[in-house]
């Protein structure tokens, strides 16, 4: 059984973390395969949105802790540098929107990988846990970077130290995620959002993402310059011409992602 399921349908790449009996905890194979699939999404021009979800009850329980104590395992020194850090970089640098559809519990690196995506939605029975403190680790996979920026320093600090379980409804309320949906409608809502993202001007979204990445540590002056240079590129795309024509002709635009 492969630890990552991958399917491209109607310009959407569906990536499913697939170790359900381990709550989709990451082992080396799954982390490397995920990187491979993210690369494929970047290269394949037919892909205009990536959706990441988990098989079974959980989204992802973070690192497979049995691998950490396995003498034949990758060893601590490789886990961040070869597994999680490249995954977070690939998601943030992918020139296409990445939607995480958090179907169940997301813990440790599993939570922080979900939270670094461009749009994060969760099912009503999902939850987010900064599980690291409970086993003597520090939050990784970008958690110490994104969480204080998403929900403020105090809440980030307390969640990281206490390792609270944050239910999806609370995650939406405090701005940790975009939206939660009741379990019955979660899948259809996730697909609807993925379809919308896949039909928007892909290059415009890619530059929006790059500008947001830069906003996390640039001054206003630098950010205004970034917007200026990216807007010139966006305004030279076919999708911009199509968007303006469609508006003036009072019709639905047909964006092709170029």
Among 68, 150, 169, 246, binds ligand LHQ (CB under 6 A): 68
The reply on whether position 140 binds ligand LHQ by CB under 6 A is yes
Q: Cα(138)–Cα(108) distance, rounded to whole angstroms?
A: 10
114 binds ligand LHQ (CB under 6 A): no
Cβ-based neighbour number of residue 192 at 10 Å:
12
Q: Is the dihedral of CA 167, 170, 174, 176 positive or negative?
A: positive
Residue 76 binds to ligand LHQ (criterion: CB under 6 A): yes
State the binding string over 80-109 for ligand LHQ (x if CB under 6 A, else -). Answer: x------------------------x-xxx
Give the residue with the Cβ less far from ligand LHQ, 65 or 233: 65
Q: Work out which of 22, 92, 203, 209 binds ligand LHQ, going by CB under 6 A.
A: 22
Instruction: Rank residues 76 and 248 by Cβ distance to ligand LHQ and give the closer one.
Output: 76
Please name the residue ranges forming H helices in 44-152. 65-68, 76-78, 85-93, 109-115, 143-151
Written as one string, the DSSP assignment of 224-247 is HHHHHHHHHHHTTSHHHHHHHHHH
Please answer whether residues 25 and 55 qualify as being in contact, where contact means their C-beta atoms are separated by less than 8 angstroms.
no
Question: Could you tell me which stretch among 47-55, 57-65, 142-150, 183-191 binds ligand LHQ (CB under 6 A)?
Answer: 57-65
Q: Which 8-state DSSP code applies to residue 258?
A: -
Residues forming contacts to ligand LHQ in the complex (CB under 6 A) are 22-23, 25, 61-66, 68, 76, 79-80, 105, 107-109, 129, 131-132, 135, 137, 140
């Amino acid at each position: 059984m492969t630890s990552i399921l991958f399917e491209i349908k109607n310009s959407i790449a569906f990536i499913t973390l697939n170790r359900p009996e381990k709550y989709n905890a990451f082992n080396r194979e799954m982390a490397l395969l995920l990187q491979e699939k993210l690369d494929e999404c970047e290269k394949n021009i037919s892909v205009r949105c990536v959706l990441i979800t988990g098989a079974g009850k959980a989204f992802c329980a973070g690192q497979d802790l049995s691998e950490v104590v396995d003498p034949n395992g990758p060893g601590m020194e490789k886990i961040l540098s070869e597994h999680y850090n490249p995954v977070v970089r690939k998601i943030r640098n992918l020139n296409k929107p990445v939607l995480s559809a958090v179907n169940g519990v997301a813990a440790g690196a599993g939570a922080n990988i979900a939270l670094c995506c461009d749009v994060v939605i969760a099912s009503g029975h999902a939850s987010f846990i900064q599980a690291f403190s409970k086993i003597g680790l520090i939050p990784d996979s970008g958690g110490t970077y994104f969480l204080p920026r998403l929900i403020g320093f105090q809440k980030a600090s307390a969640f990281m130290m206490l390792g609270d379980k944050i239910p999806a409804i609370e995650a939406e309320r405090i701005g940790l995620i975009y939206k939660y949906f009741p379990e019955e409608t979660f899948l259809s809502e996730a697909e609807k959002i993925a379809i919308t993202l896949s039909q928007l001007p892909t290059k415009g979204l890619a530059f929006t993402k790059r500008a947001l990445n830069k906003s996390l540590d640039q001054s206003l002056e630098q950010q205004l310059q970034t917007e200026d240079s990216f807007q010139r590129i966006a305004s030279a795309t076919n999708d911009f011409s199509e968007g303006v024509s469609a508006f003036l002709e009072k019709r639905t635009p047909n964006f092709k992602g170029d």
